[in-house]
Amino acid sequence: MPKKQQEYQAIAQQILQEVGGSNNIESVTHCMTRLRFILKDNSLPDDQKISEISGVIGVRRAAGQYQVIIGQTVTQVYEQLCQLADLQQTQVIDENLDLDLATKTRPHLTFKSIGSAIMNKLAGSLTPLIPVLVAASMFKMFAAVLGPSMLNWLSATSDTYQLFVFVGDAGFYFFPILIGYTAAKQFHAQPLVAMFLGAIMVHPTLLKLVTDKKNFAIFGLHMPLVNYSATIIPIILSVWIMSYIERFLKKWIPASLSTIFVPTLTILIMLPITLCIVGPAGGFLGKYICDTIIGFGKLGGIWSILAIALIGALWELLVMTGMHLVLISAMMMVIAQNGFDNFTILGSIAASLSVAGMCLGAALRLRDKKQKALAWSYLIASFVGGVTEPALYGIAVRYKRSFWGMMIGGFCGALYAALCHVKGYVLVPVANFMSLTAYVHNDPTNLINGIISGVIAFLVAALATYLIGFDKSPKVIHELKPVEG
């Protein structure tokens, strides 16, 4: 057996023993960084002992699960665990915070659970679109860098330049169709019918009515003139309502007729609801959210600058509680509808690079050879791989003082970006050095200041972590609110 495989087997063996053996495991799966157990008796595992296992970053008890944080090698450990315990392997899971995986029941309705459900549905509808947004943003970046505004390798009239421009625009323009599909998956509606509804919202005839400001009625109801291209909230709200209408029709229409009448009547009913009520309301809400966030960035006063710096300081705390999903959704909305974000993205990028800086400071300060080696591995995972969770739980949470070093670095990096009025134009969903490409635009100064802000975040976090030092005894990692591993 290869040496690495032996190491994974040893880790799995110790974990299996500490959780009470295979007889205490009801089921186990894994996400990107954690083993997720549903145990028959949750009192058997000793959090401290499991945290001290070589290869384990920490533990967490949440959502009825006993979660063991492994890091990037979780898949290999999981495979060995399943072999040792004679358990069937399952697919990698995503965190679903509105469903208790231990009881398979929905939580009681409270303001908190409703807010969490809304956040999860919004994030679930938008997160699958990240690859499209990245590709579209990159083509926009190619046009900006290679075009006449920067390197001038491509003229504004060249076919290649125009290709990059319209391909980049397409990724955002057809949002209602793309989100129609992802939202349908979230609300358990027919995806293709939802995409059809999204296509109606960006049809050239409808857009011409809006451009020409021509009055139009749908079954006698006045239709507000709204351009839905590159919008997010209108289609999500529409698909949510559509899911109930679709289920109602399926319940009452005979199966022999449902293929024809369910999709037809669903769209027929949704036309006035979407184009006269929900769509305009969602468009107003989306514009209000975007204008508010952009307005914060445009204020330029001390409160705006301080708010951006605080996002840089607190971003990783939001990541650990899952609240960052709200800001990420807003960030995606702002970039899609306005072309840039000058608020949230500044703090998030600075914070991501401050995690890598914290790892460097820890690697230089730690004396224990094993922990020092882990710190170097966390640095590579964060700065190159864009995976910050091992560093967060392996250093920031384990050694509480290092949290301050990371927060100071994020604060300083975001503060510089705010003072220089930097804007983020490209949505780069990774927390590594490539996140700095978000600042690429026609203005080279924006990119330069953006890179400087990232360097400041990294170096200040490293220096602060080194100077502040560590607690004498590391803390056991558990009972933190969950976010996807």
**Domain 3-85 annotated CATH 3.30.1360.60:** yes
Say if CB 30 and CB 3 are below 8 A apart: no
Could you tell me the pLDDT band of residue 168, with boundaries at 50, 70 and 90? Answer: confident
User: Predicted confidence band at 97 (pLDDT cuts at 50, 70, 90)?
Assistant: very low
Report CA dihedral (466, 471, 476, 478) to the nearest 10 degrees.
-70
pLDDT at residue 29 greater than cutoff 90:
no
Mean of pLDDT values over 173-195? 92
| pLDDT at 162 (0 to 100) | 92
148 in helix, strand or coil? coil
- Mean pLDDT over 441-448 rounds to 87
Give catalytic status of residue 290 as yes or no: no
Residue extent(s) of CATH 3.30.1360.60 domains in the chain? 3-85
What is the number of other CB atoms lying within 10 angstroms of the CB of residue 95? 18
Asked if residues 128 and 178 have their Cβ atoms less than 8 Å apart, the reply is: no
Q: How many CB atoms lie within 10 A of CB 170?
A: 13
Per annotation, catalytic residue among 31, 82, 276, 359: 31
- Per the model's pLDDT, the better-predicted residue between 298 and 234 turns out to be 234
Q: Tell me what pLDDT residue 116 has.
A: 63
Report residue 199 as tokens: 């296509």
